[in-house]
Amino acid sequence: MGRIARPPSSVCILGGGWAGLSVAFHLQELASRMQHAMRMHVVDKEAVGEGGASAVAGGLVHPFTPRAKKIWMGDAGMEATRRLIRVASEGRREEDFRAAAQNFPSEIELLRLEDDPSLAGRTSLEAFSPAALAQGSVSQQEFRRAYSSASGSSGWSGLSVNGRNYSRALWEHCKRASGGGSIEWVRRDVGGLADVGDLQAESVVVCLGYGSVMLRELQGLPIKCVAGQSLEFVRRGDEPSDLKVSLLAGKYISPLRDGDRLRLYCGATQEHGTVQELVRRGADVEKAKQELIPELTALYPELGTDCWAPTKVSLSLLPCRTAATDSPWQSRYGIRALTSRENEGRLPLCGLLRSGPGGSMLSNSDVWVLTGFGSRGLIHHALLGEMMAKAVMHRDPSHLPPELQKSSLFT
Ligand SMILES: Cc1cc2nc3c(=O)[nH]c(=O)nc-3n(C[C@H](O)[C@H](O)[C@H](O)COP(=O)(O)OP(=O)(O)OC[C@H]3O[C@@H](n4cnc5c(N)ncnc54)[C@H](O)[C@@H]3O)c2cc1C
């Protein structure tokens, strides 16, 4: 390949969702350790914390598959994510913390509730139905014991984070930690690699989520897209809620504080189509209500009572902004990028783009790709962001797991 091992002095990261921010964070950390000054641009069509699936996600992170097995690199992923969340929150000045992130990090316990009859250990799990748990007839400790024995895991815990606040905190950390280098957020809609040619990056890292397959050079990536909508509810009146943990049984309910009020982030729908169709389609709140409300109220019956009111989301989200309406109902809409299912489940996708026709036409830059996080971006973004940073710094794709480099577009 004739590659030189000198680390790049300028890097352009396309996409500032969790994948892009994690790569930025780990690149900075490596550069500082190597005392290497690096100029970095993060290019995104949206503002920090407002773009892509990361801005609409429920924020649940745990190391299990829907069948209660460990997800690919689940424990390592969990550890890396915990560390990144810790660093992002610790680095904050107190006033930033109060202003922007009153509910960050919301390290509440996550319970996974599952009534899938094909699960091992189903007898004990069936006794712990979501409704029984929500009504308090089964204690959380009892449920956890049952879950642990069914999943073969000795301990069970997950996290819920406010994804948008997490992104902002991570970005603030990157800005503060840029040391001898620099980092800048560039608002730009990118259609092809030539659109960032003016930034003269020696390495480009494509972390555009669903947008990766819309990039001219990456249209052959083995990724399909699935949109998801979520709904939000606020607590009426001053009565405190009894819901202190996130509930997850196919659909999820995640309680997060928003200032003085408690909000429930509830999701998510699964909507199929080509990426172009999904981008065009955008939010459809009636569809979201139809798919979500029956399952959500079965999971947490109180949601169907007067205690909770549907609320407009605090942010209009791309790719399709929600139309202004008088209805109190509004949904958040995002698009997930998924790879095909394999023995180990759906694995993310990463690699170094081939150069020349059919690949990267940026002759002076390495072009890396990190996408395909599906519905589980939080468990893998930190770990893979770290591996990608090593690959970029050493200009060597062998730092990336071979099982994730599955595209004919990669070297
Ligand atoms: C409704 C829903 C709920 C979810 N819940 C969870 C959950 O609870 N836990 C979990 O772990 N995962 C969840 N996910 C999945 C998770 O959101 C994704 O796996 C993760 O956000 C992917 O991160 P990313 O950085 O790869 O992509 P994205 O977050 O999509 O980031 C891509 C970035 O690129 C930018 N971009 C895209 N195209 C362009 C372009 N042409 N030019 C410039 N910028 C562009 C976007 O603005 C965005 O900032 C959920 C997803 C959805 C849709």
CATH label of the domain that carries residue 386: 3.40.50.720
What's the average model confidence in pLDDT over 203-222?
A: 95
Q: Which of 78, 378, 380, 384 is the pocket-test mutation for ligand 1 (most atoms within 8 Å of CB)? A: 378
Q: Are residues 349 and 360 in the same domain?
A: yes
Alpha-carbon span 161 to 237, nearest angstrom: 24
Nearest ligand 1 atom, CA 334 = 53
Per-residue pLDDT tens for 375-386? 999 999 999 999
Alpha-carbon span 30 to 11, nearest angstrom: 13
Give the residue carrying structure tokens 């189903």.
Answer: 122
Q: Which of 48, 373, 383, 388 is the pocket-test mutation for ligand 1 (most atoms within 8 Å of CB)? A: 373
Domain count, the chain: 3
Write the secondary structure of 148-210 as one string of H (helix), E (strand) and C (coil): HHHHCCCCCCCEECCHHHHHHHHHHHHHHCCCCCEEEEEECCCCCHHHHHHHCCCEEEECCHH
How far does residue 209's CA lie from ligand 1's centre (Å)? Answer: 5
Per-residue pLDDT tens for 45-103? 999 999 999 999 888 887 777 666 678 999 899 899 988 988 887 755 544 433 333 44
Q: Are residues 198 and 270 in the same domain?
A: no
Alpha-carbon span 24 to 22, nearest angstrom: 5
- pTM over 0.75, yes/no: yes
Domain assignment of residue 264, given as a range = 224-338
DSSP 48: T
The verdict on residue 130 lying in a domain is yes
Among 44, 41, 64, CA closest to 54? 44
Q: Are residues 333 and 263 in the same domain?
A: yes
Task: Out of 338, 373, 393, pick the residue that ends a domain.
Answer: 338
Say if CB 85 and CB 199 are below 8 A apart: no
Question: In this structure, how many other beta carbons lie within 10 angstroms of the beta carbon of residue 98?
Answer: 10
Per-residue pLDDT tens for 150-182? 444 434 456 777 788 788 889 988 998 887 899
β-strands 159-160, 341-342 pairing: unpaired
Task: Out of 156, 182, 210, pick the residue that ends a domain.
Answer: 156
Positive or negative, the CA dihedral 345, 77, 258, 55 is negative
The verdict on residue 187 lying in a domain is yes
Rg of the chain (C-alpha set): 21
β-strands 271-272, 224-235 pairing: antiparallel
Q: Are residues 331 and 228 in the same domain?
A: yes
Q: Are residues 241 and 320 in the same domain?
A: yes
Q: Are residues 363 and 273 in the same domain?
A: no
Q: Would you state the pLDDT for residue 133?
A: 47
Q: Are residues 52 and 170 in the same domain?
A: yes
